[in-house]
Amino acid sequence: MVTIVTIIRRSVGALLLAISTCVAAAPPAPAFISSTAPLTSHEINVSRVYLALSGRAPELSGLDFWAANTPERASIEEIYNTIEPFVAAVSMAPANEPNFSFVKYLYAYLLGKSYEDDPAGIQYWACLLADDGSQQIDGTFFCAQGYGGLSRGGVVSNFLAAAGAAAAADPNSHRTFVNRMLAIEYAGRIQKARGRGFSVPDGATLVRRIMSSDESFSQAMQSLDRLTRDRRLASPARRFDGELTAASLYSEARPAALDARVKIHKHLVWYNSNRDMLLAQAFLPPDFVSGSNFQAVISVHGGGWRNGLVEHMEGFNTALALQGFVVLSPMYRLTSWGHTGVYPSPTQQADIADFAALVKADPSVFKVSADRVRLFGHSAGGHLVALLGTTSNYGCVASVAAPLDLLNDFNSGPANTSLDYYVAPTARASVSPSSQSATASSTNFLVHFGSADRLVPPSQAATFQAAFGSSRVQTMAHNESHMFSAQAAKAVASATATFFQGSSCL
């Protein structure tokens, strides 16, 4: 498959020619934008770097601050190099991520693509950052000789140029990119014109709900108009956006990269109880059209409560959908969205509970049974679903590599930094699944853990099982590190399906 990787391999002259001649026709500006003043080229560049570094349209205060604190003629790379240290200092992805993960965030933020959509492309861009031509990027890929040497700012600059030039090579990604670039520009223009900004969750969802279709762009622009008029009127509490039906859900879904029998809807929009606009993805099983009364699995991504992407769950989610589940993977408010702790616990678990309640309230949209909505999560997402399962009745909950005991063996290094943003040390017991009352719920659990996990000690599975009893907690060891391999994801899905379909869950 030809992707934007082919574009960057051209000579610089050819690349510049491509940028000027291969750009898809942009959707027309909405009427409410037409009368606003354009952003300067510097403000546009700041907005693009802001999106690459944070995954959202810049709030008015952020746009104004960085436009004023970077040179007017600064390049994309120079703007990135100025902003990046501030982002890394507060442990925000992708600035604090390894090269391979850094590029996966760029793909999600700028193109709406997961690793599974373009593994070779992500490998290529990660190799441009490698210092050593033989550097291993992940468990599969190695960088060829002659790669490497670019700074992250340089990669962002080249990536933006390549995505803008990829109309012929990768039209869907290119159109998504064009739509998102227009959206962040229009967001800046209308915020300046109306003197009204939007929240961090709104800014993230505003951009990431946009894909290649004109409809997704139009819907995002309608939200932008409402958000910058009166946010409370724009954002109804706890509901899905638009007139969502099972038929429209399926018609807007696209074949999954890992198995075309599964269909993915990548830009569902929902609102939590706080009226924040958030994203979700739906993975539909092969027999979705003919079937009914499916079990639903709400699949929650990890990232230390501070970072992470719904795209990171695609391997697990596709495998679960192939087992016959409707899998729904929601975004939730991250602690990094508040920088200094505006969104600490219990925000994260409250969002997942809101989403579960929303699915149960209108199960016909997803063709699921309201009384068979299960929870599944990886890492911090596994912690959140386990915590919910220990405090409320969710029937059955499965977790992978989840920190289940926040009081012991989980108190050093990066994990501790993320934990401090999530909850104060004195309050950890209140959100530690192993510390909850065994009589508060009747939920049953399946705990997958990696025997080689260096981030979450494998002993945590036994601690949790001891707290709730072997009759309620099954554990399963895998010869994996914290980030489970694609093959392990299939094994997890198979065992989880058996668990969810077993007598203890029915």
Q: Residue 408 — φ and ψ, nearest 5°?
A: -135, 145
**Exposure b/e, 31-59, CB count within 10 A at least 16 = b:** ebbeebeebeebbbbbbbbbbbbbbbbbb
- Measured CA to CA in angstroms, residue 294 lies from 119, 123, 225, 287 at distances of 31, 36, 37, 10
| Per-residue pLDDT, 130 | 72
The CATH number given to 236-505 is 3.40.50.1820
Mean pLDDT of 484-506: 94
Residue with tokens 């005991």: 405
Q: Looking at the predicted structure, is the pLDDT value of residue 458 above 70?
A: yes
Q: Looking at the predicted structure, is the pLDDT value of residue 11 above 60?
A: no
| Per-residue pLDDT, 24 | 60
Indicate the pTM of the whole model: 0.93
| Rounded Cα distance, 155 and 276, in Å | 32
Ordered by start, the domain boundaries in the chain are 5-208, 236-505
Annotate 390-410 with three-state secondary structure. Answer: HHCCCCEEEEECCCCCCCCCC
The helix (H) or strand (E) run that includes residue 294 is: strand 294-300
Pick from 366, 70, 27: nearest CA to 186: 27
Strand partners, 142: 136
Grade residue 1 by pLDDT with cuts at 50, 70 and 90. Answer: very low
CB 279 within 8 A of CB 335: no
| Per-residue pLDDT, 343 | 84
Residue with tokens 């890394």: 88
| Per-residue pLDDT, 432 | 97
What tens digit of pLDDT does each residue of 66-84 get?
A: 999 999 999 999 999 999 9
CB atoms within 10 A of CB 77: 18
Angle, helices 347-361 vs 380-391, to 10°: value is 70
Lowest model confidence (mean pLDDT) among 339-343, 372-376, 389-393, 496-500: 339-343
What tens digit of pLDDT does each residue of 242-282 get?
A: 889 999 999 999 999 999 999 999 999 999 999 899 999 99
| Rounded Cα distance, 175 and 166, in Å | 9
Q: Are strands 254-255 and 263-271 parallel, antiparallel or unpaired?
A: antiparallel
| Per-residue pLDDT, 145 | 60
Question: DSSP 3-state assignment of 376?
Answer: strand
- As a whole number, the mean pLDDT across the chain is 90
